[in-house]
A and B are shown apart, each in its own frame.
Chain A
């Protein structure tokens, strides 16, 4: 690994005939957060002045980094000047540029620093690059993790498009997005994407978990007891037990709640009958 050390630089004024490239090294998705810097660093390679930062500046003066004579060093400079905080879209742009310029990705520590080390992870960067601008904005805005994107980007293009549409319409939180992606992964072969996505997921979740969900609904209905008294099994029915909870604020309150419980004995019996019927007691 070779790190950039710029020994010489000078300020130059560019003329109308000079070739200026503002785009090639603009790897940053976070345009709005680009520092307002009056200096515009550049490298002169093959007769073209390549901007290395401050890409949107409208300046006639450039700070020419004279040591930089090749694309490899230019990209190193861009990454160094860009700082430490690279999001996944930036990284996908860097990786795209490395391939486009026929450079060696192992020369760039920015990937390792961001825990991108294996082929699978670089493949994900490849696919992030191809996403729509709106989807990229969502990924950056919500800081969606590489792990979640690794699931999304294994889906076929039609499903990715549906997720993109959903995201733009609902702009879900990070956790909601993760749940959505998991659910689509789980049921993607059976989801009818022409229907409402949430309804479809609900339908399929119920299909695969009918026995448990029906049991839970039935027993929850039976164990509804008034006045803040709750009856529940605390270990997902792994053991045959029910736990009764209530708060009391006075002796009278205590007696009232005991009376309610006494009046609810039929419900408790019915609950144990259901537990027995389901082999849980």
Chain B
């Protein structure tokens, strides 16, 4: 059910709901409905939408910027940090879309940036309702310096086929069938995600893939190899803008949250080490082993695509790829958008 806060009633977002004949209920606050994933709360503003993706100097991070138009996600992945990060289960949608263009224009003036909406939500899971793709893409395509990424686990991509793909990357979180089926509850089927990637690549969009989180389990090497073969047969390398690789890591409280919320998960079986940033991670040799495997498997066919490790130690870059990408802005120069 969609609940609209009184202050958001006259916004374009709510007018769109009216136009599409989608039911909603007007409320004074989020205390008037149950806090659960199937509820959507349309509120006015979060203040500033745009911010740099949180990073640490200890592990290598790029200079990605996030645009928080939504908080929360209809999918229910065991590993999702939002379970610990947000103080609500429902999905919050910010309707103050008038400031979107201003904030992107300001960033455009500062230099060349990559921006996306997939940090605190899935960028496209609710695109059939709120059509944020239709809002962002015409704005971004007028700007020279902004590349905009829609990151998703869905195949809810039909709106994109009526829009100009110029400065846009559609990226898909990908994982093995085992992880997708056991840990990514309610998320889109992996084959459907890859089929959507294929259609969008053919349409002209740049495509990104996020192997995140890579999860270690018996036979995971074989499963990741199979997944990579599917990627090769779905999308040509020339359409691939980037591929990110990262093993599972989390704040310590997430493991207990998983135990409280889900019946079972492969993620709680491992005795993680505490990393230099306080997050739990796989023991370093095991991270190196699986990252090296996935990297090499991708390089068999995609020799030029930009492949990067998200939040990994410089020594792991060195060991696997042979160089240290440096800190944020220097790291960022590795992306095709900055070249």
Contact = CB atoms under 8 A, between A and B. Distances in A.
A215 B263 CA distance: 31
Nearest to B273: A236
B16 interface: no
B98 interface: no
Interface in B258-274: 259-260, 263-264, 268-271, 273-274
A279 B318 CA distance: 11
B93 to A, nearest CB: 22
B285 A278 contact: yes
B172 to A, nearest CB: 29
Nearest to B319: A279
B313 interface: yes
A115 interface: no
Most chain B beta carbons < 10 A, residue from A187, A211, A238: A238
Interface in B37-90: none
B274 A236 contact: yes
Interface residues of A, number: 29
B264 A189 contact: yes
A211 B313 CA distance: 20
A236 B259 contact: no
B304 interface: no
Contact of B315 (A186, A235, A240, A278): A240
A118 interface: yes
A212 interface: yes
B269 A237 contact: no
A151 B260 contact: yes
A279 B276 contact: no
B275 A118 contact: no
B256 interface: yes
Nearest to B282: A212
Contacts, number: 64
Interface residues of B, number: 24
B284 interface: yes
A187 B269 contact: yes
Contact of B271 (A119, A150, A205): A205
A169 interface: no
Contacts of B268: 182, 185-186
A209 interface: yes
B14 interface: no
A205 B272 CA distance: 12
A147 B260 contact: yes
A251 interface: no
Nearest to B288: A279
A188 interface: yes
B285 A280 contact: yes
A150 B260 CA distance: 6
Contacts of A119: 34
A186 B269 contact: yes
A212 B284 CA distance: 9
A119 B36 CA distance: 10
A154 interface: yes
Most chain B beta carbons < 10 A, residue from A150, A187, A188, A278: A278
A188 B264 contact: yes
A154 B265 CA distance: 13
Contacts of B313: 238-239
3 smallest beta-carbon distances between A and B, as pairs: A236-B273, A212-B283, A208-B269
Interface of A: 118-119, 147, 150-151, 154, 182, 185-189, 204-205, 208-209, 211-213, 215, 235-240, 278-280
Interface of B: 34-35, 256, 259-260, 263-264, 268-271, 273-276, 283-286, 288-289, 313, 315, 319
